[in-house]
Structure 1
Amino acid sequence: MSTDVVLVDARDVQIGVCEKRNAHLGAGQLHRAFSVHLIDSDGRHLLQRRAASKMLWPGFWSNACCSHPAPGETILDAASRRLREELGIWASCRVLYNFEYRACFGSIGTEHELCHVLVAQSDAVASPSAEEVSDIKWQTRAEITARLAEPHALFTPWFRMQWQRLLSEHSGFDSPS
């Protein structure tokens, strides 16, 4: 699979392609991305701890799957592909919303993404890829909200941004469409 990301404008119109690492250096270049929130039939969310080898936010907790579609790949196809590659889970996703954000990780690099936020449901047993994920856990919304309130909790900035919006604007986001 390509290591290129799709560069976009603020309206999510493709304006180019760039190697993934280069898109994250310095101030970052705006590129298309997605985040999948995976929920089981008990309403618990799968959280993943990012692998120590990740360039940005290694060892931080985040939603089930975050990545970038390859050039020419749809968000839904990319999300389903990455769920399989990162967690060994086959699930259909649906898009809830998208938003633009920029977050710097010290002097190492920056996420500047137009991020599509998706939800999927599955009770499958995850088998995480060690290259991508160092740990996983299923937690309730209350448990996640409590952990996010802890002063030294290591969560990715995009997860923090998404969580509050999911709870306030998409309270039924785990319901079938």
Structure 2
Amino acid sequence: MGANQRVSFDDEPLILVDERDNVVGHDSKVRVHRGAGILHRAFSIFIVSEGGKVLLQQRSREKPLWPLYWSNSCCSHPRQGEEDLAAAHRRLREELGLDTELTFVYRFQYQAQFDERGAEHELCSVYVGRLADEVEIDVNPTEVAAWRWLEGAEVDRLIAADAEPLTPWFVMEWTRLRRDYPHLLPPA
């Protein structure tokens, strides 16, 4: 990824949906995140290594919502006319300089407020992908401040300790994956 290559834009057209995932319109990324947010499609990806670790990223300080918070491997939004899975692969390349097969796991709706700056209000598809241990990560610094591989038990302790800032969707998703899909994650 080129140094500081911008891949996310305030005016990118996101897909507005109802609770049943029917498209109801499109609007700019900046507008759908204002106030309490407008329900829109999103995706989250958890990358798990063959050695049993999960890749976490710390969001860039440039992010308007949840800057420098630790989160799952990659997350973003499909744009107008783009399917979720295609968008997920695009974003893996843009943020982490990698790609891998992704398995759809589940979809859920949530709303999370980040002070007066705005909110996420998403119908979010969750994917899990697998990588070999020694894959080079080439982060885009406009999107990712830092990254690290953690064992499943380390992620459990990180969430339980509540000592580092974590994105709310990451905590919700990890908790559900642990409960309902433990075979897809590193052992506890």
Q: Residue 107 of structure 2: which of 87, 98, 101 is its match?
A: 98
Q: Residue 44 of structure 1: which of 20, 37, 53 is its match?
A: 53
Matched residue, 2:20 = 11
Superposed, which structure 2 residues align to 1:14-163 within 5 Å?
Answer: 14-123=23-132, 124-163=135-174
- Identical-residue share of aligned pairs (%): 42
- Runs of 4+ aligned structure 1 residues displaced above 6 Å come to none
- CA shift, 1:174, in A, is 4.9
Question: Structure 1 unaligned runs (5+)?
Answer: none
- CA shift, 1:122, in A, is 1.3
Worse-superposed segment, 22-31 or 71-80: 71-80
Matched residue, 1:166 = 177
For the residue of structure 1 that corresponds to 2:184, the secondary structure is coil
Q: Is the 8 A contact 1:36 1:66 kept in 2?
A: yes
- CA shift, 1:4, in A, is 1.1
Query: What is the TM-score when the length of structure 2 is the normalising length?
Result: 0.90
- CA shift, 1:100, in A, is 0.2
- CA shift, 1:71, in A, is 1.2
Question: Structure 2 unaligned runs (5+)?
Answer: 1-6
Q: How many residues align?
A: 175
Q: Is the 8 A contact 1:76 1:94 kept in 2?
A: no
Q: Is the 8 A contact 1:31 1:113 kept in 2?
A: yes
